[in-house]
Homo-oligomer: A and B are copies of this chain.
Amino acid sequence: MDSAGARGPAAHPPLKVALLGSGTVGSQVYRLLTEQSADLQARAGAPLQVVGVAVDDPAKQREIPVAPGLLTTDGLELVTRPDVDIVIELIGGIEPARTLLLAALKAGKSVITANKALVAADRAVLHRTAQEAGVDLYYEGAVAGAIPLLRPLRESLAGDDVRRVIGIVNGTTNFILDRMDTSGADFSAALAEAQALGYAEADPTADVAGFDAAAKAAILASIAFHTEVTADDVYREGILSVTSADIASARSLGLVVKLLAICERCNGGITARVHPAMIPRVHPLAAVRDAYNAVFVEAESAGRLMFYGAGAGGQPTASAVLGDTVAVARNLQAGLRGPDSSTYAGLPLVPIGDAITRYYVQLDVADRPGVLAPVADAFAQNGVSIKDVRQEGRGDDANLIIMTHSAREAALAKTVSVLSAMEAVRNVDSVMRVEGVEGE
Residues of A within 8 A of B (CB): 1, 4, 7-9, 28, 32, 36, 39-40, 42-44, 140, 146-148, 151-152, 155-161, 226, 284, 287, 299-310, 313, 315-316, 318-327, 330, 334, 336-337, 339, 342, 344-347
Contact = CB atoms under 8 A, between A and B. Distances in A.
Contacts of A308: 284, 305-308
A280 to B, nearest CB: 13
A191 B40 CA distance: 46
B304 A4 contact: no
A326 B39 CA distance: 29
Nearest to A7: B344
Contacts of A299: 146, 319
A148 B140 contact: no
- Residue among A4, A7, A309, A347 with most chain B CB within 10 A: A309
Contacts of A301: 28, 32, 146, 315-316, 318-319, 322
A318 B300 CA distance: 11
B346 A7 contact: yes
Contact of A309 (B146, B302, B319, B334): B302
Contacts of A44: 158
Contacts of A316: 301-303
A345 B4 contact: yes
A226 B344 contact: no
Nearest to A8: B344
Contact of A151 (B36, B151, B318, B344): B151
A322 B322 CA distance: 27
Given A8-B344, A344-B8, A43 B159 contact: yes
A1 B159 contact: no
A161 B303 contact: no
A226 B42 contact: yes
A148 B159 contact: no
Contacts of A284: 287, 308
7 contacts: A7-B345, A8-B344, A43-B158, A151-B152, A159-B322, A303-B315, A334-B337
B315 A309 contact: no
A267 to B, nearest CB: 14
A332 B27 CA distance: 38
A322 B152 contact: no
A8 B343 CA distance: 9
Contact of A320 (B147, B156, B313): B156
B146 A323 contact: no
A269 to B, nearest CB: 11
Nearest to A268: B1
B152 A319 contact: no
A155 B151 CA distance: 9
A300 B316 CA distance: 9
A289 B158 CA distance: 27
Given A159-B324, A301-B315, 5 more contacts: A4-B344, A36-B161, A146-B299, A156-B320, A305-B309
Nearest to A284: B308
A325 B146 CA distance: 26
B304 A307 contact: no
A160 B330 CA distance: 16
B7 A323 contact: no
A347 B339 CA distance: 32
Question: Which 6 A-B pairs give the minimum distances between C-beta atoms?
Answer: A159-B322, A148-B156, A148-B152, A146-B302, A301-B319, A158-B326
Nearest to A159: B322
Contacts of A157: 148, 319, 323
